[in-house]
Amino acid sequence: MAGLRPAGALCNLPGTPACPVDARLHELQANQERLEAQNTTLRLTHAALEVSQAALRESEASAHLILRAAPVAMLVMNQHGRITQANARAEAMFGYPMGCMAGLTIEDLIPERFRAAHRDSRNDSERPARHRIMGMAGGDFYGLRTDGGEFPVEIGLGPLQLGDERLVVVSVNDITERKKAEEDLRITAIAFESQAGMIVTNADGIIVRVNQAFTRLTGYSAKEAIGKTTALLHSGRHDSDFYRHMWSTIQDKGFWQGEIWNRRQDGKIHAEWLTITAVAKPGGEISHYVGTYSDITQNSEAEAEIHRLAYYDPLTQLPNRRLLYDRLAQALASSSRNHHHGAVLFLDLDNFKTLNDTRGHAVGDQLLTEVACRLQITLRECDTVSRLDDTVSRLGGDEFVLLLEDLSDCADEAAIQARQVGEKLRDALALPYDLAKSEFHCTASFGVTLFHGHDDSIESLLKQADLALYQAKNAGRNTLRFFNPAMQAAMDERGALEADLRRALKRRQLYLHYQPQIDSKRRIIGAEALLRWEHPERGMIGPDIFIPLAEETGLILPIGRWVMQTACAQIKAWSGNPATRDLRLAVNVSARQFRQPGFVADMKAMLDDYDIDPTRLKIELTESLVIDNVADSITRMQALQAIGISFSMDDFGTGFSSLSYLKRLPLDQLKIDRSFVRDLAHDANDAAIVQTIITMGRTLGLDVIAEGVENEAQLERLDQYGCIAYQGYLFSRPVPLREFERLLGVA
C-alpha cells in the first residue's frame, strides 16, 4: 500500500503526456484571474464615472445657480438653437411666466420684421467670430415682449461645454436708456449748433465752449474765446448797474433775458437778444451758465414782434401758456433755493359765455382786455407780495393764471397771503365795466394751490389749481377755493363713480320711476319719467349726482337714448289698455342729446320701431337749452312737432323767460318751477310770478303745469290763478312702474 502513488502522479512522470483534467483546471484558473482583473477595471471605471457624473451634476447645478442669480437677463441654448434655461430677469424682461421660455429660439424673441436681418447676421462671414456661435448671432436688435411691445436690446454670446453637450450662453441687455441717452446727445449736439449763437461758461464766468453761430455773430473763433471771460464782448454802452442787476436776477430767478449791446471782434457794436440760464447741480450749486444770442440790429422791431407772438397773448399782451411754463419752472427753482412758498391762482370769469353770445365777441374781447388791466394794476398794489415780472398769464378764453412768489416760508402764512391777494383781485374784478357804452357786471372764481420747491410738477400744480377752481364754481361762483388732498379724494371718488356709471346700463342698474301728473279734478292724465340708479353697493344714487356727471362725460347720450326707448316701449304697453292708452308720458332731454345731428331722425325711427302714437310722448326742454341756439332749437322742435311730439318748457321762470323768443318757440306747455311754488302761499313775489306765468301761458295758447305741489294751500292758490295741471308730493312721489299702475287701478 505504501508503494502506491497518487493517481495524479502519473501525469508528472517524464515523457508522460499532459493530463486533460489538469489542463482544464489551469485554464479555468487563468480565466478566473482575467475576470477578476476585468471586474476590478470595471469597478474602477464605474467609480470614476460616478465621480465624473457627480462633478457634472455639481457643475450643472452651479451653472444653474449662477444663471438664476445673474444680474442681467441670460438664456442657455442648445446646439439646435433652442432655449433650455432662462433666468428670472429674462422671463420678466420678455414678459413670460416662469419656465415658459424653454423651447423658444432667439428669433422668437425678435419682432418679425427684424428676423431676416438676424438670419443674415448669422451667415455674415465678415462678422467677428464672437458674434457668431453655433448658428446664432449677437449684436444690437429689437426684443419682442409677449404683449407685443418692442424694445432695443444688445445680445451677447458665449460658448459653454457641459460634458459632451455644447451650449451657448446668451446675455440680453435692455438698452432703451442707452439709446435714449444717445438720441438726447445727438439732439443736444444739433441744438447747440443751431443758428443762434451759444456760449457756455463755468461758474466763474470763464468761457468753456462756443458754437459756430457764436463765431459767425461775434467774429471770435472758439480758440480765441475759450479760456477768456465774457468781458471780451462788452461794448461799453452798459454801466455796472446794468450788469449788477443782470447777475442779481440770474442768482434770484435762475435766468435773465433782454436786449444787450455787444462788441464784435472787428470793433463794431451790435444789438443782441440775450438769454442767460444758470445750470445747477443736483444740490443746487451753480456749475455753468448758458448764453444764447440772436442779432436784432438789422430788424429789431421784427425780432421783437416774433418774440411777442411766441410768448405773449396778442389780445391782452399777457404771457401765454408757453411763457407761463417757463416762469413756473423758474419760480419752482427759486422756491427751492430760498425755501419760500409760492402760489398759483387759476381764475376764470363767471358767465363769460353768456356775454359773448348775447353781446358779441368784440364786447367779450373788450372785457378780457379790461380784466387783464385790472389784474395787473391790483397786483402792483399788493406790495407785500414779491412777484416775477410776468405775474399774470392768459391761457385762452376767459382763463387766467397768476403766479405769486416769495410768500412766507410757513405754509399757513403763505396761504393767508395768497388769499388776501385773491380776494383783492376778486373785488377788483367785481366792479362795474363800461362796455360799448353800457354798464356790465362780471365776477370771477379762483382756484389756488401753494408750491414749495420741486415738491410738485408744473402740470400737477395747474391741475390742482384747476380742481380748486372747479370747487369754487360749485360753491356758487365769485369765490375762492384752495386745493387740498380732500379735493383730490373727491375727484378720485368722482372717477370711480364715472366708471360705475359706464357699467350701469349694461348691468341694468338704471330704472325709470313715474311721477303722476294730475288735472284740476285730481285725475291722472300722464306722468313724468324720471331716471333712477340703484347701485349694488352704494344703494340709490340721486339724479342730482349722476345726471351732471353723465352730462360732463358724454354718457348722457347712450343713457338718454335708453330712457327714450324705455319710454316708447312703455307707451306701447299702455296703448293696449283703455285705462292707460290716453296717458301722456313726459321725458326730459339733455342739451347734448337734443343737439346731436341725428336726434330728429333717431326719434322718427324710434317711433316707427315701437309703432306708437307720437301725441302720447312729450319732451321737456330747459330754457337754457332752448336759448343757447334759438334758431336751431326752433327748427328741431318744428320737425318733431310735425310728427306729433309735444314740448314742455321745464323749470320755466328760472332763466331768461324772454317773450321775444318764447312767442317764436313751438311749445305746448309751460312748467312752473318748484322754487316759485314752494312759498306761493306766503311770498307775494312768488305769487305774482306764478300768476304772470299762468296768464302768459293762457295768452300764448299754452297749457301750464305746476311742479313741486306739496300741500293743499299751494294747490288752492294755483287753482285760483287758473292753473290746470299739477305734479308733486301732494299726489305722489316718483314711484316704480308697478306702483304707478296701482295708482291707476290697473295693476
The 10s digit of each residue's pLDDT in 149-178 is 899 988 888 887 776 778 888 888 888 888
Fold type of domain 65-179: Beta-Lactamase (3.30.450)
Whole-angstrom distance, CA of residue 199 vs CA of residue 221: 12
Is the pLDDT score of 136 beyond 60? no
What is the C-alpha to C-alpha distance for residues 539 and 427, in angstroms, rounded to an integer?
43
Most confident of 111-115, 225-229, 311-315: 225-229
Same fold, 193-309 and 508-744: no
Q: What is the average pLDDT score of the chain?
A: 83
Q: Express each pLDDT in 51-81 by its tens digit.
A: 445 544 555 555 566 666 677 888 888 888 8
3-state secondary structure 400-456: EEEEEECCCCCHHHHHHHHHHHHHHHHHHHCCCEEECCEEECCCEEEEEEEECCCCC
One-letter identity of residue 662 = L
- Helix (H) / strand (E) containing 295: strand 286-295
The string of pLDDT tens digits covering residues 415-450 is 888 888 998 999 999 999 988 778 888 899 999 999
Q: Is pLDDT above 50 for 131?
A: no
pLDDT digits (tens, 9 = 90+) for 640-685: 999 999 999 987 767 655 666 777 889 999 999 998 999 898 889 9
Output the pLDDT for position 77.
86
Q: What angle do CA 444, 448, 452 make, to 5 degrees?
A: 155
DSSP secondary structure, 611-649, as one string: T--GGGEEEEEEHHHHHHTHHHHHHHHHHHHTTT-EEEE
What are the residues whose beta carbons fall under 8 Å from the beta carbon of 662, sequence distance 6 or more? 649, 696, 700
Q: Is the pLDDT of residue 391 over 70?
A: yes
Q: Is the pLDDT confidence value at 604 over 90?
A: yes
Model confidence band, residue 1 (pLDDT cutoffs 50, 70, 90): very low
- 529 — phi, psi (to 5°)? -85, 125
Amino acid at 79: Q
Of 165-169, 321-325, 571-575, 633-637, the one with minimum mean pLDDT is 165-169
Q: How confident is the model at residue 45 (pLDDT cuts 50, 70, 90)?
A: very low
The DSSP secondary structure of 387-400, one letter per residue, reads: --S--EEEEETTEE
**Residue 13: its pLDDT value, please?**
38
Residue 132 CB contacts under 8 Å (≥ 6 apart), including other chains:
121, 122, 124, 138, 157
What pLDDT, on the 0 to 100 scale, is given for residue 337?
Answer: 86
Percentage above 90 pLDDT, the chain? 34
Give the pLDDT of residue 475: 81
- Give residues with Cβ within 8 angstroms of 555, minimum separation 6: 498, 501, 502, 549
- Which pLDDT score, from 0 to 100, does residue 26 have? 58
410, pLDDT greater than 90: no
pTM to 2 decimal places: 0.46
CATH of 508-744, one of 3.20.20.450, 3.40.50.2300, 3.40.50.620, 3.30.70.2470: 3.20.20.450
Give the pLDDT band of residue 266 (cuts 50, 70, 90).
confident
- Coil, helix or strand at residue 377: helix
Whole-number pLDDT of residue 130: 46
pLDDT number for residue 361: 85
Q: How confident is the model at residue 387 (pLDDT cuts 50, 70, 90)?
A: very low
List, for residues 530-578, the tens digit of each pLDDT value. 999 999 999 999 998 899 889 888 899 999 999 999 999 999 999 999 9
Q: Encode pLDDT of 276-296 as tens digits.
A: 999 888 778 888 999 988 877
Q: Measured in whole angstroms, how far is the alpha carbon of residue 393 from the centre of its chain? A: 23
For residue 17, pLDDT beyond 50: no
**In this structure, are residues 603 and 645 in contact, taking their beta carbons and an 8 Å threshold?**
yes
What contacts 164, CB < 8 A, 6 or more positions away?
A: none
Give the CATH number of domain 312-483.
3.30.70.270
Q: What class does CATH assign to 193-309?
A: alpha beta
**What average pLDDT does the segment 110-117 reach?**
83
Domain map of the chain by residue range? Answer: 65-179, 193-309, 312-483, 508-744
